[in-house]
Structure 1
Amino acid sequence: MHLQKLLKFSFIPLVLVPLFLSAQEKNSVDEKILSEDRLNLFKYNKDKNEESSSKLKKDWINPINLSLTKSKSDTSNTLKSAININQPIFKSGGIYSAIKYASATYKYTDYDIDLQKKELIKEATTMLFNLNILDLNIKKNELLLKNANIDVDRKKEQVLNGFLDTSTLDNAILDANSIKNTLADLYYQKDELILNFSNIASGEYTSFDLPVLSLVDEDIFLKRNLELSKAKADVEQKDYYSDMIVAKYLPTVSVEASHTQYHEDKDDDISNENIYSYGLSVSMPLDVRTFNDIETERINYLTSKLNLKNIELEERNFYKTKLSKLKMLESKKKIAQDDYKLYDSLLEVIIEEKNAELKTQSDVDTLQNSQKIKSIELKIYELEKQIELLDLYSKIS
């Protein structure tokens, strides 16, 4: 087979593109890799966050109190119903801050749920890649075992003919057994990983196409970074909450209203008497802990701003670390490509010498197996690069 055809899968260049492949495109990372139960858990968390946020936005609205009282004495038997309202209409900016705080809290929790979902998709997809890498490593070690067995047969013949001592044959047998042990470990690792994959995946690993990811630009990675978005929402959340705490110790204007109705009482001749009252009240708490409370929330806000700064630095360095890892894998891949080309040229010579009866079929088989091993290594390096890109994918929206 021509070199370019053999390397068609293994050579996928890294390119800078505006964003990762969309979820609708073929071979892209898709949430459908997760089981329906796992996806439903995230959906329920989203719904819960929606309801919690809606409730939080209404927290500044006091409930209307309804009461029904029946009292009985020696001289009367009274039934009374009442409606009471005590509603703040001005809290020195606290109402506005409470609504904005609810929105910021919703965003913070929403980003956190998205991160958890992305992390689980990454975990499942990483296992999918690793299962395919295990399959390739099994094929690679099977080829190594074939070469080891050829070497054992060759050395056995040389020992029997008196050209080598038995220690050389013993070393060859030990090498073959070492590969057999490696294969046993790989089969176990594959079985274990299949079971772990089935815990969160929606199907068998063989039913999924491998996604093909490309590299994003650093600025876009930071702009769409979920960790940064979550940290920014936390700063916003702490800012509005700090305003709410300040407003708690400033004047509050409230509307007060009540309606009391006395229902018919035959003994006292009360017939549906109504009593209405309404008014405004201004209140402001005087608390010796005011400064401490306000200062605590101010410190929390400043801490969140520093945390945002640190996360931005960490995400920049994370991106650079991934770039470095990708370059390392590309270098290893280049070495394997050079080796493959070398085997390709050597194989032509060995086949010609075999046809001229200067080399044996085992010489050809050994070289062909070695060439196939290099082809497999190229595919493994490409899948390892995809896993590194997957780590970046799991961080962006």
Structure 2
Amino acid sequence: MKVLNISVALFLACSTLLSAAEKNEKLEEYISQNKKEQFSYDYQKNEAESSKLRDSWIAPLNLQYSYTVSNPYSAEQTSQNAAIKLDQPIFQSGGIYYAIKFAEVSHLYANYSVDAAKRKLVKDAISLLMQIKQLKLKIDKQNLQIKNAEINLELKKEQYLSGQLDSGFLDNAIIERNSVIQALYDIETTKERLISKFQAISDSSYESAQIPHLEVLDKESFLEYNILLNISKSDREKYRYTKNMTIAKYLPKVSITGGYNWSKSEKQLFSASDGERDYYDYGVKASMPLSINTFRDVESAKIDFLKSKLVIEDKKRELNALFEQVMQNIDNFDKKRVLSIENRDLYEKLLVDTKNLFTAGYKTKYDVDLLENSVEIQKLDVMIFDIDRQLELLTLYEMYINDKY
């Protein structure tokens, strides 16, 4: 009993210290270094892809060279040709600007997507750690329930042997004891399974790692820093600039053209063609496509953009419902916690009275032990409900990110 009291005190002390000293710690610290590096490469790839997309409007400089040998008239002839050519758009009725903006929001969208994947893994790691800590408490609680079942069995044995009870009551006591022992084995098996999963994604030791203390979020902050909502918003901006680029695609475009050409011929049929020559050319080119599908293409892009705005509203409604559900679940756990505290206080009062009666010879040691175990069970229930509360908040923190978390 003293050992259990010490473990409970240590658990409360660790939770308090964590709340005060480590609540600003980045939640990403719970995943392994290997996982962090993988996500880092994802961000780097997003940066590279964004730069490539941003500069895609810049036309390449085309280099050409050819060397030809032929003998159409018995004599062998050779010719060499080289050229450098450029066809660079400089005006696309806003298309260049929209293409650059599209690249920027695409980069933002890609980073939010990586954020969501990383946050999902962080949530899994912390959830596993919380459940492992909670199962440790449930194992302690189950051991106390086993002790109570064994005390109850001893009492039923004595009553049966003294003729006060029939064998049915004794059988029920034996079955109850076996049930709580089997439940303990199930809890221990579940704990080992969760430990294996936690070690696969985290470098931390589940024994020494402390669970973070998550604060209750207000709805405004939850929506403002919500990764999933930001993904939908950046997706809307992608469709906005896609629509604008589609319109610009069918408007006038101006390009500058230029090139440098060099050729060399030997042993041609007409000697005037022999020799080496070079020249340059440059100019301006204007174009505008006329397509039967212009209005259909533009209309399709507009519809995608309008739909993306509705998706945001749907996502807000979904997140609002999730927030309300989590708050309701937390409220229920708070009620259960209060009930356990009330039960603990009741058992503590009964324990004091029972100890006095035991000293006076009116109660047995069994009665005292049963109540002592019941007091400790209620204390453990309070801590179990505290972790249940944190697990509910973790559902929100999975999609919530700012500089603090």
TM-score of the two chains, using structure 2 as the length reference:
0.90
Q: CA deviation at 1:39?
A: 1.3
Q: Which runs of 5+ in 1 are unaligned?
A: 14-20
Q: Is the 8 A contact 1:79 1:265 kept in 2?
A: no
Contact 1:29 1:211 in 2 (8 A): no
Preserved CA contact (<8 Å) 2:69 2:78: yes
Q: What is the alpha-carbon distance in structure 2 between the residues aligned to residue 164 and residue 26 of structure 1?
A: 56
Q: TM-score, normalised by structure 1?
A: 0.92
User: Does the residue aligned with 1:281 lie in a helix, a strand or coil?
Assistant: strand
CA shift, 1:71, in A, is 2.1
8 Å CA contact 1:6, 1:375 repeated in 2: no
In the alignment, which residue of structure 2 is the partner of 1:128? 129
- Contact 1:7-1:375 within 8 A present in 2 as well: no
Q: 2:294 & 2:166 partners in 1: Cα distance?
A: 91
Q: Which amino acid aligns with 1:310?
A: D
Unpaired runs of 5+ in structure 2? none
The equivalent of 2:141 in structure 1 is 140
Is contact 2:246–2:298 with CA below 8 Å preserved after alignment? yes
CA-to-partner distance for each residue in 1:8-33, whole Å, 9 max, x for gaps? Answer: 939x99xxxxxxx89x9358452122
Per the alignment, residue 314 of structure 1 pairs with: 318
Which deviates further from its counterpart, 341-350 or 283-292? 283-292
The within-5 A match list for 1:143-182 is 143-182=144-183
How far apart are 1:204 and its partner, in Å?
2.8
Distance 1:122 1:29, change over 3 A: farther
Report the AA paired with residue 88 of structure 1: P
**What corresponds to 2:32 in structure 1?**
35
**Number of the residue aligned with 1:363:** 367
Report what 2:12 is aligned to: 9
- 1:246 matched to which residue of 2? 247
Alignment of 1:156-305 (within 5 A): 156-263=157-264, 265=266, 272-305=276-309
Aligned residues of 2:22 and 2:212 also touching (Cα < 8 A): no
% same residue: 35
Instruction: Classify the secondary structure of the residue corresponding to 1:215.
Output: coil
Judge which range, 192-201 or 373-382, deviates more.
192-201
2:334 alignment partner in structure 1: 330
CA distance in 2, matches of 1:161, 1:28: 62
Judge conservation of contact 2:78–2:265 (CA < 8 Å) in 1.
Answer: no
Residue 348 of structure 1 is aligned with which of 324, 347, 352? 352
2:333–2:389: 8 Å Cα contact kept in structure 1?
Answer: yes
For 2:26 and 2:388, how far apart are their aligned partners in 1? 15
Instruction: Report if aligned partners of 1:111, 1:226 keep a CA contact under 8 Å in 2.
Output: yes
Q: Does the CA-based 8 Å contact 1:326-1:388 persist in structure 2?
A: yes
Correspondences of 1:78-157 after superposition (within 5 Å): 78-157=79-158
Change (3 A) 1:369 1:162: same
Q: Are the structure 2 counterparts of residues 337 and 170 from structure 1 closer, same or farther at C-alpha, using a change threshold of 3 Å?
A: same
Question: Are the aligned partners of 1:253 and 1:281 in contact in 2 as well (CA < 8 Å)?
Answer: yes
CA distance in 2, matches of 1:179, 1:396: 40
Aligned to 1:17: none
Alignment correspondent of 2:51: 54
Q: Distance in 2 between matches of 1:70 and 1:213?
A: 72
Contact residue 102 and residue 241 of structure 2 kept, 8 A: yes
1:343–1:367 Cα contact (<8 Å) kept: yes
CA–CA distance in structure 2, aligned partners of residues 52 and 144 of structure 1 = 59
Q: Distance in 2 between matches of 1:177 and 1:29?
A: 44
TM-aligned CA distance change 1:242 to 1:230, over 3 Å = same
